[in-house]
């Protein structure tokens, strides 16, 4: 079985892709199936999250690029920064992984959290999209959210 143990910072050529939801991109040990249909064993350093675009070196020397799978998310938007800050506070208080975008927040869909935010005057909507939550203030893992991209 193909094996990946190393996270790269850059590569000239990508040989295959691996699309995973956030829950699986947090695991350091995992067997998954590449876009090509081949199985791969991930044995990566613990404590990190594979972000969209992350690169892995395989035991054969090939490069696999990570892709974030679409997931069912709740999305709240507002033109009022105080309203979003209040929502982020309450979600963070529940340790909810949270993606913070310009003018909005995204979290894995949960009707209880949606109801809470409705009580704060927001109107969550449900959509399927890749999920890239914040990595946390103390994260220093090389796969942490340090690349730039538009959300």
Q: pLDDT digits over 86-100, tens only?
A: 999 999 999 999 999
pLDDT at 138: 55
pLDDT at 137: 59
Q: Count of alpha carbons within 13 Å of 14, Cβ hemisphere only?
A: 17
pLDDT at 48: 86
Q: DSSP assignment, residue 102?
A: T
Residues of the chain with pLDDT under 50: 140-151
* List of residues 6+ apart from 48 with CB closer than 8 A: 7, 28, 139, 141, 142, 143, 144
Helices (H) and strands (E) in the chain, counts: 3, 10
The DSSP element (H or E) to which 45 belongs, if any, is none
pLDDT at 143: 41
Domains of the chain: 2-68 (2.60.260.20), 70-130 (3.30.70.790)
């Amino acid at each position: 079985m193909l094996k990946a143990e190393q996270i790269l910072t850059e590569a000239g050529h990508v040989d295959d892709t691996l699309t995973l939801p956030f829950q699986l991109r947090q695991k350091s040990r995992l067997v998954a199936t590449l876009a090509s249909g081949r199985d791969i064993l991930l044995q990566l350093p613990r404590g990190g999250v594979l972000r969209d675009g992350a690169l892995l070196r395989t035991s054969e020397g090939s490069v696999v690029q990570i892709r974030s799978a679409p997931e069912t998310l709740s999305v709240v938007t507002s033109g009022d920064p105080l309203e979003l800050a209040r929502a982020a506070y309450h979600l963070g208080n529940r340790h909810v992984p949270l993606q913070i975008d310009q003018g909005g927040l995204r979290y894995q869909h949960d009707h209880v959290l949606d109801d809470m935010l409705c009580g704060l005057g927001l109107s969550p909507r449900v959509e399927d999209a890749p999920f890239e939550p914040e990595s946390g203030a103390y994260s220093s893992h090389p796969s942490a959210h340090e690349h730039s991209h538009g959300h």
